[in-house]
Structure 1
Amino acid sequence: MRCRLLLSALAAIATAADPPVATSYDYIVVGSGPGGGPLACDLARAGYPTLLIEAGTDQGDNPTYADMANFNEAANDDATRWDFWVKHSDDPARELKFEHMTWDSGDGTFYVGLDPPAGAKQLGIQYPRAGVLGGCAMHNGGVCSLPQDDDWNIIVNKTGDASWEASKMRKYLKKIEKNDYLAAGNADHRYTGWLSTSTSDATWAKNESLPMTKILKEMARLTGQNPNDTANLVNRDILGAYTNKDELTSFFSMVQHADKSGKRSSPNNYIRATLADPAKYPLTVMLNTLATRVLFNTASGSTPVATGVEIMQGGSMYKADPKHVPGSKGPLVQLAAKREVIVSGGTFNSPQILKLSGLGPTAELKGFNITVIKDLPGVGEQLADNYEGSVLGLGQVPVDGGLITMMFRTNATAPTKKRNIFTWCGAFSFEGFWPGFPTYYGPNQYTCAMVHMSPKSQAGSVRLRSADPQDVPDINFNFFLNNGDRDLAEMVEAGELLRKAWQAAGAPVLPFKELHPCPGTNAGANCTDASQAEHYKLQAYSHHASSTCAIGADDDPMAVLDSKFRVRGVKGLRVVDASSFPVVPGAFPVLPTMMISAKAAEDILADAGTR
C-alpha cells in the first residue's frame, strides 16, 4: 500500500492531530538524514512497510534549502536549525578564549565574542545541526569527497568483514550517484542514481592575468604540481578512482551534491520521489515527531529484542530547536516494528537515544535511574571530528577568480605518505559557526579554509544531562587532547604554505592584511610556529562529528556495533549514520554516510528472513 507523508509544513498533507497510518511496520527508521533517509527508501522500495521518523519539517520546496547557493542562510535559519552548544575542552579558561563563544544576552539576542555584557549566560560553542526532512544534507555546503582507503579498511582490520574493503566500497557511490559533471560512459561513476553530483565552472583558471590564477600556479609550485597545467588540474575529478589516490597531492574540482542548475540534491529528494512513485512503495514519513526511546522485549530469551519506538508528537519538542517553548510536551505514542529498528539520529542524537533506551555505560544510566538493558561503555564515547581552521586576509583590491580546491600532504609534519589537508581558497570568509555566521569583511576578503584529515585524537564524548528525551546532551570534543602537538604542527605547516602562495597575487592585490592566524601585513615576520599553533588550538572549529556508536571488534569493550551495524548485545536494532564510523571518514562525511546507508540497506535486506 502507499502511505502518506504526514505533517508536511509546506505541502500541508496532514494535520498535527493525524495518527500514523499504521501502528506496526516491518522497519522503523529514526532520523531522515544521510544515513536514515536513503535507508528507509531502500527498504520500502524492496517491498517492506517502513516508517521514517523525523523531528523536523519538510523544507524541500523552500529556496533557502533547495538552492545550494543559500547554504549559509539555511544553516542560520531557525525554521530548521538545532543549536548544540558544545565544549572543546574541560578547561573553562581555555573555552573563554574562543573568539566566537556565544552567550544569551537575556534580552532575546545572542552575544558572540570575548567581552559579554553583564548578566549574560554562557551558552558555548555553536554546533549547528538541522531538524528537517533530509537532515544536515539540507543545510550544508554540499561538498563531496571520499574517505581514505584506510578509513574503510580499518573496519576490515577490526572486524574481519571483507565487505568493507576500500576496493569494494566504491560500488555504493555508483549505486546512489547521478553524475552531472562527466560525460556518460565513465565506468567509475553512475548516471541514474538518486543523488545528483555537479561541479562549478573553472574556466577562470585559463586567465593567467587573474590574481587567483597567479595564486593557483604558486600553490602548484609549492606542492610539486605542474604550474603550466593548472587550468586542467582544477578539473580533476575529486571522486575519481586513482591508483594510490590517498597519496595524490593535486587540485580538484569541487563536487557538490547538487544538480547542474544548482538545486540541492539530498535524501529529501529521494524520500519525496519514493513517496510519489507510481509503484506505491510502502513508506510512511512522520514529521514533527521526536523519538524518545527504543522499546525492548526482555521477557523472552536471554537477549533483549527491539520491538519498536516511543515517540513524542508535536513541533519543536527538542530543546536544541530555537523555537522550543519551555515546558511544552507532546503526547507519547508507542509504535511497533515487526523486524528491526534502525537509529539514524546522527552523532549526537543516536547515542542519546541509545542511552535513554538503556544501552550505554552502566554507571551513567544508573545515575539517571534508567533501567540498564545492556552495558555498552562505548556509547557516546570516542567522539571524533576533523580539525578546521583558516588563513584569512584582506587584499588591497578584490582577489578576482574562482574557487581553488586542493588536497595535499604537509611534507615536514605528515606522519605518513598520505594527504592530510583539504583546502579551498577564494574570495569568501569562513571561520566556523556562531549565530549569524559568517562575518563579511568586504569585497577584498580572501580565505584559504582547511580541513585536517585523519586527526589523531578522538577523545570527545556525548553524555546525558538527564533522562528527559527533550534535553540536549553534554557534548565535549576534547580537541587536541591526544597527540595534539602533532596535529597542530600539520595545521601550522599547511597555513604557512597557503600564506606563501598568497604572495603570488601581485599588484594591485598586495600587500595582504592578514587577519588570522598572523595579523598584519608582514605576517611571516610577525608570527611564530608556536603562536600559530596556539591560535589553531584555541580557535579550531569543526562540523564533521563521528564515531560515538562505532563499529568495532568482538573483543573491544568500546565497540557499539558489529560490521553489519547491529547493536551489540541486543537483537533487532542497528545504528546507521556518521556515529557508526570508527574514525572520521576523510575530509567531509556526508557522501561516505550516504554510501554506508546503501551498504546497510544491502546488509539488512540480506538478513530480512531472520531476526
Structure 2
Amino acid sequence: MRTEFDYVIVGAGSAGCVMASRLSEDPSVSVCLLEAGGRDRDLRIHVPGMLGEILGSRGNNWNYYTAPQLHLDNRRLYWPRGKVLGGSSAINAMCYSRGDLGDYDDWAEAGAEGWSAMEALHWFKKSEDYSAGEDQWHGQGGPLGVTKVFKGHPATDQFVKAGIEAGLRRIDDFHAGSREGIGVFDTTTRDGKRCSAYTGYLGPSVRDRSNLTILSGAMVRRVLVDGTSVKGIDAIVDGEAKELLAKREVILCAGAINTPQLLMLSGVGPAGHLSVYGISSVIDLPGVGENLQDHLDISLLAQSEPGKTIGYSLQSMGQMALALGEYAISRKGLMTSNLAEGCGFAKSQEGLEKPDIQLHFLPGYSDRHGEEKFIGSNGITLHACHLYPASRGRVRLGSANPAEHPVIDPAYLSGEGDLEALIAAAKLIAEIARQPALAGYVDKWLYPDNLDRTDEQWASFIRARAETIYHPVGTCRMGRKDDEMAVTDSGGSVYGATGLRVVDASLMPSIIGGNTNAPVMMMAEKISATMKEA
C-alpha cells in the first residue's frame, strides 16, 4: 500500500469528502482519505424514509454520551455521530439549512476574515445542485443534490397551516431573504435517495481517480509531529499499524469531537491538561477542545389515530409495505420523504435581530433518537431548539488511549438566558399544536401529558426531556493570531504548526442559526478552493 501522499485527510464526513473531491481534481496531486467507519452499504442510509431506523441504529455510529449535565437533571445525553463513509451526513435527517446569512458576517467580525455573508453564499451555491433551478440564492450543477419539496405528508401540511393560524407567515424558500416563518425543508436528496457528502462528492467517477486513495475502517491514533512540522499520521489500517506521510498537509476533518481529541492525543492542545495523561506538549494551544456549542432541542409528542401518520401500528405497517414497493419500482412516494419535513423560524422575544428558534415537525414519533418505537401506535412530533445559546462547553481527553471516547461536556443551559429562550420555544410549539389545523392529529398528549403549563413546569419538562439536535461545533475555532483561544487562522491552518489544517464544524467561532451539515460543506468548498489557488 502506498504510504506517502501530498495530502492526508482524516475523516470522510461532510468536510472530508468535499476536501478529497476538490483537491484530487488536480491530477498532479495525490490524496489519501481515511475513515474510521465502514462503507455505506446499509440500505437504510440511502432510503430517506428509513431515517428513524438508521438514526436509531447503533451501527455506523460513534455512540457518544455527554458528561452528566447539571442543568438537565444530571442526565448523560446520547450523541449519535456518523462513523461511516459520509460521516453524519449519512445518518442525519437530510434537512438542508444554511443558517442566517448574517451569522457569517458575525464570524468575520469575530476575527474569521473572509467569511462574510456574501462570500458564504457564493460557496453554498457552488456546492448545490438545486432541483428547482439556479437563481439569486441557489446553484445548480454542484455535487450536493438538494431537492425542493413542494408538498409533504398531510400532517405536515396541517402543521404549516397551524403555524399560520398561530401568526407565522408561510415561507416557500428559507434561503431567499427573510426566513422568519413556517414551511417545509429542502432536503439533501437526489432522485429519491439520500445525497450524503460521500455519494454527492465522491461518486464512482471521482472514486476511480488514480490520485485518490480512500481507506475505510482506518482508525487514526495520532498526528505525527516533528518539532512544529507535521509529517503524517499514525493509524490502524486493516488491523495493522501504518504511518501515512503527508508531503504537504495533514487535514483533520474528523468533526467537533474527534478533531480536538486527535489534536490533544498528538500533543497539540492545552499543555496542563495533556500532562495529566502523560502526553508531552508539542504545541500549547489552550483553545483546543474549548468553545463547544450545540443546539438543545425540546419536543412535544402526541398520539394520533392508528394509521393516520407514519408509525408502527398495523395500519401503518401495511402502508409502509406498499410505500416500499412503490419506492423499489419508481423511487417515488412516502419513502422519498426525510420525515423531518416541517420547518420554521421564529423569535423568542420581540426586538431580536434574527430568529433564534427553529422548529422541526415529523408526521410520526421522534423520541430518544429513534430508539423508542411506540409499537402499535401512531403520532406526531413537534420540535423546537434554541439557535444561539450562550452556553459554552468543552471536549477533554478521558484517557491517552485513542480508542476510548473523550469527555464531552456541552454545559447545556449554563449560559445566561438559554433556559428562558427554550421555554419560549416550548411555548411556541405548544401554541402551534393547539391550533385547529392540527386537531385531527392529536388524540392525546404523551410528552407532556398536557400543554397548559407554567414557565416553571416547562422548565422542569425541559430539564427532564431536552436532547441534542445533533449540531456540535466550535472546538477548534478560527480567529486572529493574537486571540489565545483561537486554534486556527481563517483558512483552518493550525497556529504554531506547519502542514496541519482543520476543516470541519469545529472551526465555527459561533454556532450558526440552523442545521450544520450544509454549512460544513460550504466551508470545505471555500477552503479547498483557497488551497488550490495558493
Paired residue type of 1:529: D
Which structure 1 segments of 5+ residues have no match? 1-19, 99-123, 205-209, 226-232, 299-303, 315-329
C-alpha displacement at 1:332, in angstroms?
Answer: 1.8
Aligned match of 1:308: 232
Counterpart Cα distance in 2 of 1:139 and 1:276: 21
Aligned match of 2:260: 351
| Secondary structure in structure 1 of the residue aligned to 2:77 | strand
C-alpha displacement at 1:90, in angstroms?
Answer: 4.8
Cα deviations by residue, 1:12-48 (Å, 9 ceiling, x for unpaired):
xxxxxxxx3x211111000000011110111111231
Aligned match of 1:439: 373
Aligned match of 1:592: 519
1:305-384 matches, cutoff 5 A: 305-314=229-238, 330-384=239-293
Q: Give every structure 1 segment of 4 or more consecutive aligned residues whose post-TM-superposition deviation is greater than 4 Å.
A: 210-215, 395-404, 441-444
* Contact 2:124–2:522 (8 Å) recurs in 1: yes
Aligned match of 1:153: 105
The higher relative CO (CA closer than 8 Å, separation ≥ 6) is in 2
| Secondary structure in structure 2 of the residue aligned to 1:164 | coil
1:63 aligns with 2:63: no
Counterpart Cα distance in 2 of 1:188 and 1:487: 32
Paired residue type of 1:582: P
* Contact 2:183–2:343 (8 Å) recurs in 1: yes
1:185-224 matches, cutoff 5 A: 185-202=134-151, 215-224=159-168
| Secondary structure in structure 2 of the residue aligned to 1:74 | helix
Aligned match of 1:228: none
C-alpha displacement at 1:212, in angstroms?
Answer: 6.0
Counterpart Cα distance in 1 of 2:247 and 2:433: 60
1:404-419 matches, cutoff 5 A: 405-410=342-347, 413=349, 416-419=352-355
* Contact 2:17–2:198 (8 Å) recurs in 1: yes
Cα deviations by residue, 1:149-204 (Å, 9 ceiling, x for unpaired):
3321222112262x211111111111111112x1x342432221111011334177
Give the TM-score normalised by the residue count of structure 1: 0.77
- Structure 1 residues 510, 574: CA separation in 2 closer, same or farther (over 3 Å shift)? closer
Paired residue type of 1:488: L
* Contact 1:274–1:283 (8 Å) recurs in 2: no
| Secondary structure in structure 1 of the residue aligned to 2:88 | helix
* Contact 2:57–2:371 (8 Å) recurs in 1: no
Aligned match of 1:3: none
Count of matched residue pairs = 504
Largest Rg, 1 or 2: 1
Counterpart Cα distance in 1 of 2:125 and 2:309: 36
Cα deviations by residue, 1:31-85 (Å, 9 ceiling, x for unpaired):
00001111011111123101101111111x4321121222222223344222112
Paired residue type of 2:528: A
Paired residue type of 2:491: K
| Secondary structure in structure 2 of the residue aligned to 1:290 | strand
Cα deviations by residue, 1:319-375 (Å, 9 ceiling, x for unpaired):
xxxxxxxxxxx4321111110110111111000110011101111111111121111
1:290-305 matches, cutoff 5 A: 290-298=219-227, 304-305=228-229
* Contact 2:94–2:194 (8 Å) recurs in 1: no
1:124-135 matches, cutoff 5 A: 124-135=76-87
1:94 aligns with 2:73: yes
1:488-527 matches, cutoff 5 A: 488-505=419-436, 509=440, 512-517=443-448, 519-520=449-450, 523-524=451-452, 527=453
Counterpart Cα distance in 2 of 1:553 and 1:438: 45
* Contact 1:155–1:563 (8 Å) recurs in 2: no
| Secondary structure in structure 1 of the residue aligned to 2:33 | strand
Counterpart Cα distance in 2 of 1:169 and 1:581: 13
Counterpart Cα distance in 1 of 2:421 and 2:405: 34
Aligned match of 1:539: 465
C-alpha displacement at 1:94, in angstroms?
Answer: 2.4
- Structure 1 residues 491, 414: CA separation in 2 closer, same or farther (over 3 Å shift)? farther
C-alpha displacement at 1:264, in angstroms?
Answer: 3.3
* Contact 2:6–2:249 (8 Å) recurs in 1: yes
Match of 2:383 among 449, 460, 473: 449
| Secondary structure in structure 1 of the residue aligned to 2:24 | helix
Aligned match of 2:409: 476
Counterpart Cα distance in 2 of 1:73 and 1:27: 36
1:241 aligns with 2:176: yes
- Structure 1 residues 347, 511: CA separation in 2 closer, same or farther (over 3 Å shift)? closer
Paired residue type of 1:94: D
* Contact 1:223–1:249 (8 Å) recurs in 2: no
Paired residue type of 2:119: K
Aligned match of 1:73: 53
Aligned match of 1:174: 125
| Secondary structure in structure 2 of the residue aligned to 1:45 | coil
